[in-house]
């Protein structure tokens, strides 16, 4: 029989399929913008002799220094003032002077800090704990002649926030008048610093613990953000311009003061809104703050 033709050779086997690609790793989170508040950012703001934090200490509240008298006076470089602040000498004072008189509390009254609108919202959210208090002895805060509609609206919101917070045992700072605590001056950043240190020591009237709460989380503050520093935001009884500062600026200052004087400053920037904070007061940090503030801004050119 004739030979049978051989079968053609089989084609080579295809190479094995490559293993499926691993899913890409998610990119690392973007770092916070350099303008977001942090301990380092706060320190830099205080060390900037041309910055607003060095200017906010005029004896006349809401006015920048620019060569004026600092609120601690011109004697002894402010040493007596800062010593008394750290000792809490002024804590047992009426921090609602010129508004609703001495406070009455029926429980621990932590200190609340934040933008005015967020303080209002925070205390309003606690109204299930509300005490019914008469509001008949409150003043309107001595409205200034010529206040525009926005300033008057902000003033009313601040006064309402003070009542709302008082009714739920929360301390806020609300000073009006021209001789606050017998100092011969009205509200200014020195009174604000005293109140903050008293809050950190747990020695404000009504406080039974050194708890502080922020209605806006410190980590949300951005000097170039939606509510920036030095751009005349919030209550501004002395108007806008190079010569003044406004209420939003004060909240930036408050947060950065705690970033300077609390050992647990890193925890400050991990807080959520409404979360309690207890400042571990650091005398070395306070004295560094004292040195920077007493050094003042650059002299007028």
The pLDDT value recorded for residue 142 is 46
52-98 tens-digit pLDDT: 999 999 999 999 999 999 999 999 999 999 999 999 999 999 999 98
| Side-by-side strand order, sheet with 276-278 | 111-113, 211-214, 276-278
CA separation, residue 191 to residues 41, 94, 179, 197, 262 (Å): 24, 11, 12, 10, 19
CA–CA gap between residue 104 and residue 126 (Å, rounded): 18
Predicted pLDDT at 131:
57
Indicate whether 132 pLDDT > 60.
no
Helix residue ranges, H only, 174-282: 189-201, 247-261, 265-268
Q: Mean pLDDT check: name the lowest of 36-40, 129-133, 213-217.
A: 129-133
Note the pLDDT of residue 282. 98
Q: Please give the residue that has the higher pLDDT: either 179 or 143.
A: 179
181 band by pLDDT with thresholds 50, 70 and 90 = very high
What's the pTM value of the predicted model, to 2 decimals? Answer: 0.84
pLDDT above 50: residue 115: yes
Can you give the pLDDT at residue 30? Answer: 72
Per-residue confidence band for 5, with pLDDT thresholds at 50, 70 and 90: low
Taking 50 as the threshold, does the pLDDT of residue 189 lie above it? yes
pLDDT at 43: 98
Helix, strand, coil percentages in the chain from 3-state DSSP, rounded to 5: 35, 5, 60
Is the pLDDT score of 21 beyond 80? no
Spatial neighbors of 289 by CB under 8 A, at least 6 apart, are 46, 257, 260, 261
23 pLDDT band (50/70/90 cuts)? low
Q: 201-222: per-residue pLDDT in tens?
A: 999 999 999 999 999 999 999 9
15 pLDDT higher than 80: no
Tell me: pLDDT of 16 over 80. Answer: no
Q: Per-residue pLDDT tens for 39-52?
A: 999 999 999 999 99
Q: What is the per-residue pLDDT across 232-281, written as a single tens digit (0 to 9) for each?
A: 999 999 999 999 999 999 999 999 999 999 999 999 999 999 999 999 99
């Amino acid at each position: 029989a004739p030979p049978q033709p051989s079968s053609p050779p089989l084609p080579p086997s295809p190479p094995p399929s490559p293993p499926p690609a691993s899913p890409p790793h998610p990119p690392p989170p973007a770092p916070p913008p350099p303008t977001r508040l942090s301990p380092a950012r706060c320190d830099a703001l205080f060390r900037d002799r041309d910055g607003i934090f060095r200017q906010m200490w005029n004896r006349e509240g809401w006015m920048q220094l620019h060569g004026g008298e600092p609120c601690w006076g011109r004697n002894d470089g402010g040493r007596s003032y800062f010593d008394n602040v750290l000792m809490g000498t002024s804590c047992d004072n009426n921090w609602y002077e010129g508004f609703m008189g001495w406070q009455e509390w029926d429980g621990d009254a932590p200190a609340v800090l934040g933008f005015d609108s967020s303080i209002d919202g925070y205390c309003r959210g606690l109204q299930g704990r509300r005490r019914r208090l008469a509001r008949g002895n409150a003043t309107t805060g001595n409205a200034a002649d010529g206040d525009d509609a926005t300033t008057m609206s902000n003033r009313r919101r601040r006064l309402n926030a003070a009542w709302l917070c008082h009714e739920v045992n929360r301390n806020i700072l609300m000073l009006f008048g021209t001789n606050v605590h017998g100092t011969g001056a009205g509200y200014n950043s020195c009174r604000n610093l005293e109140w903050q240190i008293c809050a950190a020591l747990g020695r404000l009237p009504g406080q039974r613990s050194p708890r502080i709460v922020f209605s806006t989380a410190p980590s949300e503050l951005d000097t170039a953000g939606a509510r920036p520093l030095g751009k005349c935001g919030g209550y501004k009884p002395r108007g806008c311009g190079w010569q003044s500062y406004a209420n939003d600026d004060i909240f930036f200052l408050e947060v950065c003061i705690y970033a300077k004087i609390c050992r647990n400053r890193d925890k400050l920037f991990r807080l959520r809104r409404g979360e309690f904070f207890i400042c571990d007061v650091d005398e070395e940090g306070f004295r560094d703050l004292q040195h920077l503030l007493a050094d003042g801004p650059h002299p007028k050119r």
